[in-house]
Structure 1
Amino acid sequence: MRIDLHTHCKWSKQSELSRDYLKDMLTHASQHLDVIALTEHFNTLQFEDIYDQLEQLATYENGHFTYKGLIILPGIEVDVAEGGHIVVIGELMAIRRLSEHLEPHRDRSRFIGLAQLLKQAHSLHCVCIGAHPFREENPLSHIAHELLRELDAFDLNGRDLYKYGLDMEQRVQQLAQLLELPVVAGSDTHHYEQYGAIVSVGEGMVHNVEELRTMLQMRGLSYQIAEDYADRVQRAEQQQKLLKQTGHYIAD
């Protein structure tokens, strides 16, 4: 199994949701991966529309969407008051409920605290992953360790590997070992050129959040960094920048 636990389907928070872009992202993901968690930003424009569109495009049953053979786990990426980002993965209804709960917290001045987010997410039986823990603009590493231990994993982030270099792998691993948490791959892709830059691999298959939780608890996932990861991320970021400038996407 090849799985990416941190992916996006829009090129920016401010962009309108493009059905064509969503379809092309998922089609390309299916060519590189078996499973993705779709973890768009909680305060992106038209967040709820993403899952409305998915329910029209894909089949949802047993805790996941299926699109062209690709398993898609519902998720959301949340900014917390302490400055970091948390990737939350769960059942579709759980993610919709969490999004509703976060409605008063979408503005930067009112971001939810990590403890409150974890309490809400765990009550909805979600998995919580600490995203890019050493990214300078929104780190997690400064937060009290007793709180970080309530996470299910940290992500080794593809965009951070490109920005900071492969030394980032050691930094994330050291923090994870200190807190006795696993490390998983999160490409953090906003454009399909980046799929496959970094992936988690494991035996068997993950179909829903409970199977993912078990896999994490059993340390059943390792990760692989592609030899051309930097080229993939660079191409994706160039395309993302172009889309932000033009605001227009031409479907494949």
Structure 2
Amino acid sequence: MKIDLHTHAKLSKASDFTPAYYEEMIQEAKDNGLNALALTEHFNTRNFYEVYEQLDRMFPYNGEYYDADGLKIFPGMEVDIQETGHILLIGQKEHILKARRQLDNYTEKGAFIAFDDLMDLAEELPLLKIGAHPFRESTPLYHLERSQLTRLDAFDLNAKDMYQYGCENNLEKVKQFAADLGKPVTAGSDTHQCLQYGSVYNELATPCESAADLKAAILQEAYELRVSDSLPLKVKASVMLKKLMKKIVRLEAASSVHSV
């Protein structure tokens, strides 16, 4: 099973979820050989709950994952913490939504939940907890206490960071950081649009049929990290396309205001 553990469903936090846009993303994921992904949309994205309401209408959900015509979509979210940093939580939809409801009062910058409180919340539920892009300059994690970092299950090897900071440099940094903490490294494209799929992913010898299976496979390190030779091109093209698409959205919004 080839799975990307850090993906988004929308172009940006400010944009609306649209089924047509996500269906295009799903097709690109399949075209890049993925069998599964974790949907880790930002917890404070615009209309977070609507994302899962729409997915319920788009694809059958079997209690563990959505089946998008053969592609498994495991529910999740990406959460900002008070100390600065992002945490990926992945699990059954009911647990993700339960955790998200407990974060309703923590969605604004300056009011994010403290790391330890988030871990307490996540540990009450059987969620996979991954420290996202630990060396990203804007949202690092390495500054946290060792006792805090060891509460995470794994750390994210992030395609955007590999492109920005150098593939080999970022790979070795994240691997050493995780090894010092006795934790595995997982791969995530961090894509907000389709071109970044396939840049990095995790290849498991055995397919996972549940969130518990997925967490166990990660903890047992029963998988291999895969990094595409085309990662720099994929991410560069993705970044350029995202900027262009956001510009078009802004122009359309401005045009609509002027026409009223």
TM-score by length of 1: 0.96
Determine if contact 2:19/2:58 at 8 Å carries over to the other structure. Answer: no
Question: 1:62, CA displacement in angstroms?
Answer: 3.8
SS in 2 for 1:4: strand
Question: 1:223, CA displacement in angstroms?
Answer: 0.6
Per-residue Cα deviation, 1:87-132 (whole angstroms, up to 9, x for no partner):
0001001111111111100001100011111111111211100000
Question: 1:208, CA displacement in angstroms?
Answer: 2.0
Counterpart residue number, 1:226: 228
Structure 2 counterparts to residues 82-161 of structure 1, below 5 A: 82-161=83-162
SS in 1 for 2:79: strand
Q: Letter of the aligned partner of 1:186 in structure 2?
A: G
Question: 1:17, CA displacement in angstroms?
Answer: 1.6
Q: Letter of the aligned partner of 1:75 in structure 2?
A: G
Determine if contact 1:81/1:110 at 8 Å carries over to the other structure. Answer: yes
Q: Distance in 1 between matches of 2:224 and 2:187?
A: 8
1:38 aligns with 2:39: yes
Question: 1:39, CA displacement in angstroms?
Answer: 0.4
Q: Distance in 1 between matches of 2:110 and 2:189?
A: 28
Counterpart residue number, 2:163: 162
Per-residue Cα deviation, 1:129-166 (whole angstroms, up to 9, x for no partner):
00000000000001001111010100100000000002
TM-score by length of 2: 0.93
Percent of matched pairs sharing the same residue: 37
Bigger radius of gyration among the two: 2
Counterpart residue number, 2:193: 191
Q: Distance in 2 between matches of 1:23 and 1:49?
A: 16
Determine if contact 1:160/1:168 at 8 Å carries over to the other structure. Answer: yes
Aligned pair partner of 2:212 in 210, 213, 226: 210
Per-residue Cα deviation, 1:48-98 (whole angstroms, up to 9, x for no partner):
111111111111004111002100000000000110000000100111111
1:49 aligns with 2:50: yes
SS in 1 for 2:229: coil
Per-residue Cα deviation, 1:210-245 (whole angstroms, up to 9, x for no partner):
001110121112211100100001111111111111
Determine if contact 1:81/1:112 at 8 Å carries over to the other structure. Answer: yes
List, as ranges, runs of 4+ consecutive aligned residues in structure 1 with deviation greater than 4 Å. none
Which deviates further from its counterpart, 169-178 or 14-23?
14-23
Q: Distance in 1 between matches of 2:63 and 2:220?
A: 22
Q: Distance in 2 between matches of 1:235 and 1:173?
A: 26
Q: Distance in 1 between matches of 2:18 and 2:63?
A: 27
SS in 1 for 2:61: strand
RMSD (Å) for aligned C-alpha atoms:
1.0
Determine if contact 2:63/2:93 at 8 Å carries over to the other structure. Answer: no
Determine if contact 2:199/2:235 at 8 Å carries over to the other structure. Answer: yes
SS in 2 for 1:201: strand
Per-residue Cα deviation, 1:12-52 (whole angstroms, up to 9, x for no partner):
10112222111111222122201100000000001111111
